[in-house]
Amino acid sequence: MALHGELHKLTTEGRNPRTQNIDTLSTEGIVSLIVSEDQKVLEAVQHEVPRIVEAADLLAEVLRAGGRILYMGSGTSGRLGVLDAAELLPTFGVGDDQVKALIAGGTTAMFVPVEQAEDDYEGGLRDFLAEGLTEKDALVGISASGRTPYVLAALKRAKEMGMVTIGITCNGNSEFAQIADVTIAAVVGPEVVTGSTRMKAGTAQKIILNTLSTTIMIKIGKVYQNLMVDMLPTNAKLVSRAENMVREVTGASLEEARQALEESSYNIKAAIVMLSRSCDLQAAQALLAKGEGVVARALQISWTEDAEN
């Protein structure tokens, strides 16, 4: 593990020469400078596109093969991981049996800082092992520094187990890079307020996680065209969204869309196939099974079968 004395060597811990007098500026000056620095984040993430692509392909294959993805992080990084994993259920119907996040310090750390937890190497290993993961699963370690002991412990053991290992950091040449199969390192430079990695580093990690998880969901068939067809319609707004999606894709009336959704227990994919192919729920489910849950593939199979007959 890196020593605390080496902290000053990290890009994310450096002093930003552009902001050294930020405390003397007007409100407009402070805000303008922060926004100006934030503009560097997208460029840093853009540079990491090849690594994000590589990670997305590896992680999509893990889910296709029935494996699980575990995020681990501490502080801001951990909270961003929890946020990303939690939002996959309502958006794509993917629960913590497929993608789960752990934060150093546990649930309490989501709301109250548990700063010492990030140094708990044994705690990270213990939390990781408690998940019962195997070589078919994947670990995504998230840390601005790329050297957080809580996460490093898990990454090292995951690597030893033959799991897919991904690191997300904001420092080049990090300890993550020495372990993980793929390390996504968006080097955003020193923060506006020295060491406050909830800022540019946090923004970069949020963009990376959004991009990575959404790409994975698209690749495993959770999106048809650009619609979230595995969304769970759990409130009035989402029910209306489901109805609108089915109508837009199939050209059906609102009444027809509602009927198909009700017959399929609000399975949006099944409703789309039912209306697109004028078939019942059982036939739609059979087509989706043949298409491995991918709507476009299920419809193509149906058209091919019709042509052959």
pLDDT, one tens digit per residue, over 19-52 is 999 999 999 999 999 999 999 999 999 999 999 9
pLDDT over threshold 80, residue 16:
yes
| Catalytic residue selected from 37, 48, 118, 175 | 118
The pLDDT of residue 2 = 41
Q: What would the two tokens of residue 104 be?
A: 């150093």
The DSSP bridge pattern shows strands 69-73 and 99-103 to be parallel
The pLDDT of residue 118 = 87
The pLDDT of residue 306 = 80
Span 282-307, pLDDT tens digits: 999 999 999 999 999 999 999 998 88
Q: Which residues pair with 71 in a beta bridge?
A: 101, 140
Q: What is the CATH architecture assignment of 4-219? A: 3-Layer(aba) Sandwich (3.40)
Q: Which of 107, 106, 98, 144 is CA-nearest to residue 124?
A: 106
Band of pLDDT at residue 130, cut at 50, 70 and 90: very high
pLDDT over threshold 60, residue 188:
yes
The pLDDT of residue 3 = 43
The pLDDT of residue 307 = 80
Which single residue is written with the structure tokens 């020193």?
190
Sheet holding 99-103, edge to edge: 99-103, 69-73, 138-142, 164-169, 182-185
Q: Which residue has the higher pLDDT, 5 or 219?
A: 219
Span 247-267, pLDDT tens digits: 999 999 999 999 999 999 999
pLDDT over threshold 50, residue 133:
yes
Instruction: Give me the helices (H) in the chain, please.
Output: 27-47, 49-64, 75-92, 121-129, 149-161, 200-219, 236-250, 254-263, 268-277, 281-290, 295-308
Q: What is the CATH architecture assignment of 236-308? A: Orthogonal Bundle (1.10)
87 counts as catalytic: yes
Span 96-123, pLDDT tens digits: 999 999 999 999 999 998 878 888 999 9
Which single residue is written with the structure tokens 């019942």?
280
Band of pLDDT at residue 8, cut at 50, 70 and 90: low
Give pTM, 2 decimals. Answer: 0.91
Mean pLDDT within 154-181: 96
Contact by Cβ (8 Å): 138, 167: no
Which single residue is written with the structure tokens 């100006």?
36
Which single residue is written with the structure tokens 């405390």?
23
Whether 236-308 and 4-219 are alike in CATH topology: the answer is: no
Q: Which of 265, 222, 267, 272 is CA-nearest to residue 245?
A: 272
| Catalytic residue selected from 13, 54, 61, 87 | 87
pLDDT over threshold 80, residue 9:
no
What residues does each domain of the chain span?
Answer: 4-219, 236-308
User: Whole-number mean pLDDT of the chain?
Assistant: 94
Contact by Cβ (8 Å): 186, 204: yes
Span 134-162, pLDDT tens digits: 999 999 999 999 999 999 999 999 999 99
118 counts as catalytic: yes
Band of pLDDT at residue 14, cut at 50, 70 and 90: confident
Whole-Å CA distances, 205 to 79, 102, 167: 11, 16, 11
Q: What would the two tokens of residue 112 be?
A: 């109250």
Band of pLDDT at residue 60, cut at 50, 70 and 90: very high
* Percent of the residues in the chain that have a pLDDT greater than 70, as a whole number: 97
Q: Which of 252, 229, 251, 253 is CA-nearest to residue 242?
A: 229
pLDDT over threshold 60, residue 4:
no
Q: At what angle do helices 121-129 and 149-161 cross, to 10 degrees?
A: 40
Band of pLDDT at residue 12, cut at 50, 70 and 90: confident
The pLDDT of residue 280 = 95
Q: Which of 7, 46, 87 is CA-nearest to residue 187?
A: 46
pLDDT over threshold 50, residue 1:
no
The pLDDT of residue 184 = 98
